[in-house]
Structure 1
Amino acid sequence: MATSVLDSWRATGLPLFSIIITCFNKKAYIEESIQSALAQKHDSFEVIVVDDGSQDGSWDVIQSLASQNSRLTAVRHAQARNLGEGATRQWGLEVSRGCYSLYLDGDDRLLPGRLQHDEAVIARHPECTSIVSRTRYFHQDITAGTQILCEEEESVDCIAPLTDHLYGLYEFFLACFFDYEQGQPAFKGLPCVGAVTTRREVALAVPWQREFSCAADICYFAEVLMREGVYFSSQCLAEYRLTAEGAWFQSRQDESEGFWQHLTKRHIRFLALGADPVLLEAAHQSFASKLAGRLPEPLPNPDPLPAAAESIAAIPSQPFCPTWGLSRGLPVDRYYVDRFLSRHAGDIRGDVLEVGDDGYSRRFGTAELVNVDILDINQNNGLATVIADLCDPPPDLLPDHYDCIVITQVLQNTKDPLAAIRTLRAITRPGGVILCTCPAISRVSPVAEEQEHWYWSFYIPTVRLLFQQAGFRPADLLIDTWGNLRVTTAFLWGLAQEDLTEADYRVQDPGFPLITTIRATKAL
């Protein structure tokens, strides 16, 4: 068993590790951060650098380094927008390909031997889902060229107990929320962003919080590490730079009240599943006292969900989460997207085209997958290999080229969906397949600029008409809708996948479709 995880990875031909570096106005530090990643002595890793709309020349430094090293991929948000650390790290994860991922801020550093250490842990403990190492904190005066370590007792984080050990959920709770020296509950903290290496499927299951300006990493890792099999290492393998503009300082400002409330409401109780109730309450109060002055009284409970809708007043006028339920978990509609692609994973083979990024193709593609092209209308997508507007394609777009095209939740943003479908059919090989998902009953994007490009909703008669007009025969189309009153309402309310049960998803009611899926085969 000790080699099964690594053997499975080797069969994919993909990197074992993805180092994801995020950057916003870190020109003074970003090259040092990137070089610490590239200097790792390991033969299977990639480095993804995502720029969050830097305005200080950081992007020029990143592009220059990417042009010199094939391991390094550089991407930035469309129109060089600043979307925040949560959205930026989430994008980095989605475009990465490694079996395990680790994050690094654009001013922090990995220490030598990090990837070798983590692979050795994986080989010994294939059941572990995350590896946590220690972190050294330091100040640095760039002008003077000097580096100052913090005082010894603060120089390395102090989550206890710091022994090489594979932890279960309850043990991890104690490590973060129990002071062994004093023999009483106390909030010890959570690992720094650069200290954690996580298996890809676990990382993908936990979305980054996008509404917090700082310290979103604590919310993220609080949930990622709530899995059985977290390995704590006594070795110090990352360095965290303390700067006046960094999250370490910002998270101590009053503006992060929303963050602390979120962490308290969502994670403290979840962390302690199976723990002693008395211990949990004591740790909870210790956590609250540590944050005195930042939290309103009394300590908030998780947002209650309404009981049976006995009156119109029971229906909320605002969603529980305005961003697709991401502050609570995974978006509800993606449950059906994943099931649809999993059901037709055998079609994702040969030469594949995916719109936006290659996340689904890499995740669900078969061993027969040869190549994945990424299509985007946005020239700033550094991952895109094909820049084109499906509604008005360039003449050199390859006809009859792709064995499979994956296009999820995109057609609603096209001004002319019929023209887009005709283009998709034209570039599909005879016998090839288009796997397409579209919103049916849906809210529009919460981002104002994206609302201007949300044109359509799609139902079975809609897509049947469009695909047949584009040249597909009725026998070549497999069209379904997914959803029911409860699931679709939960999506509109801003709830997440985790707020529902598997039984909720199993009921399909065509009267309340959340998404429509299409498998279209191009005739030979």
Structure 2
Amino acid sequence: MADQTLHTENPLVSVIIPCYNHAHFLHKAIESVLKQTYRNTEIVVVDDGSSDDTKAVSEKYPEVKYVYQQNQGLSAARNTGVKKSTGDLLLFLDADDWLYPRGIEQNVNSFYQQKKAAFVSGTFNAVYVNENLIREGVTEVKADHYCQLLRGNYIGMVATVLFQRWVFTEFEFDTSLKNCEDYDLYLKVARKYPVYHHLDKIAAYRFHNTNMSGNVPAMLHGVLQIMDRQEPHLKTEAERTALKKGRRNWKNYYCQALLEQVKTDRNKKQAMATIIRHRPAILFKHHVTRRKKMLKTFVKRNAPDFSLRWLHKMGLSNKHVPAIGNILPGDFNRTSPFSNDFGYKRGGPVDRYYIENFLAQEAGTIKGRTLEIGDNSYTMAFGKNGVTKSEILHVNDKNPQATIIGDISHAPHIADNSFDCIILTQTLHLIYDFKAAMQTCHRILKPGGTLLLTVPGITPIDQGEWKETWYWSFTDKAMQKITAETFPGGNTNINAFGNVFAATAFLYGMGLPEVPRHKLDHHDPHYQVIITVKAQKALSL
């Protein structure tokens, strides 16, 4: 083959969207391409014999090149899209998925660094629609890509891959495969040519009831078929070892998924038959684990709590945690909290009592065009009918709910005087330049607009996602000075909530239902758990 280096500056990227009866998803897929920061794109929708409104949806967008074919399957639709496209680089986006705004730009930038790569790939978010859950699909691979792919499909989602066009002069999606055709292609290409993987987030992978990947026995059969195809091409012992490990990994992965089906009685017979054929040891392990759990549960339910508490006090057990609602004063004689998740597992954090009371009291100011950080749950809960437009700000494009991407401490792209209300709860302590964040809030509020802000005082520090950016705790005096500096001439109201019992309960991870309300309603300014700020921008300066 001739020179395979990508020489084109600002190459045309063809986004190929195969669609079979997914018209109700297609809007989002197309619009996610139109909203890309990388503008030199074309969109080719291949209608694989749909009986729904796929054509009508496609024709609403003048930028879309619509192609119809009789139903031939996903691989054939992708191959048709290749032939009908003209781009230097190709991306395949399933109709029920979508790209993040900088997805194409990030992959094209990777090609500028890896110009000889046959394809580059990034990472994705798995969006589980029924469970209302998002999980990251992130695997770091720096070298030895073929062996890594033999061990497992680290790419995971075809929309994260950007191919050079020349790849499809030698390869295509295999139409004889009923699934895993993208994995088959990755292996064929990586076996022969250099490829590159990075950790930038490219796309969202929607999981729902009609996904092909939901048929677990078929997926296992398909992926093992792909493994078998690679065996004749292996050249080294490392490759043979990788293939062997890959077979084992896939069997474990899918048989574990089937075991969940057995537990819920969904397709139980087929699931059992597949497990017995490929990984019968999983059933034995499940049986033993289940027996252990039953014994542990029996002891917990039947041993008197005072006995377990006594064992803990005598130093004979360091794992005793009092049952929810059954904490006694002596239980505080310990160096570890009852929970390390702010009390979420015990009914919810104590500090939320003060935060949500504050927002309920100020519900009348949550109106018009509002902005909230991360999500809009408080806007919807307390704003109700007064809100005309709800915006969500997130620091990056990992949050599919975000309507504005940016850092609140530096957001020049957000226009002045834009919002009637900003809800900024439990966020300022995660921002190193918190004064700049307050200045941004003042700038983007309309005259007369209101900032509703809460910050932590006495608090545990997060042990999970936020531990690396947990910079500050505040007092009411600090917030008075900060607000006076950043909201000159405005009306402000700062309050502190908490007492020694509330602070202790919060530090130990007690749940809100475990704390009597009258003890939370007593406020001692020497033990500030939450500080609330209501700051109204002056009508004129």
Length-normalised TM-score, structure 1: 0.48
Length-normalised TM-score, structure 2: 0.47
Higher helix share: 2
Structure number with the bigger relative contact order (C-alpha 8 A, sep ≥ 6) is 1
Which structure is larger by alpha-carbon Rg, 1 or 2?
2
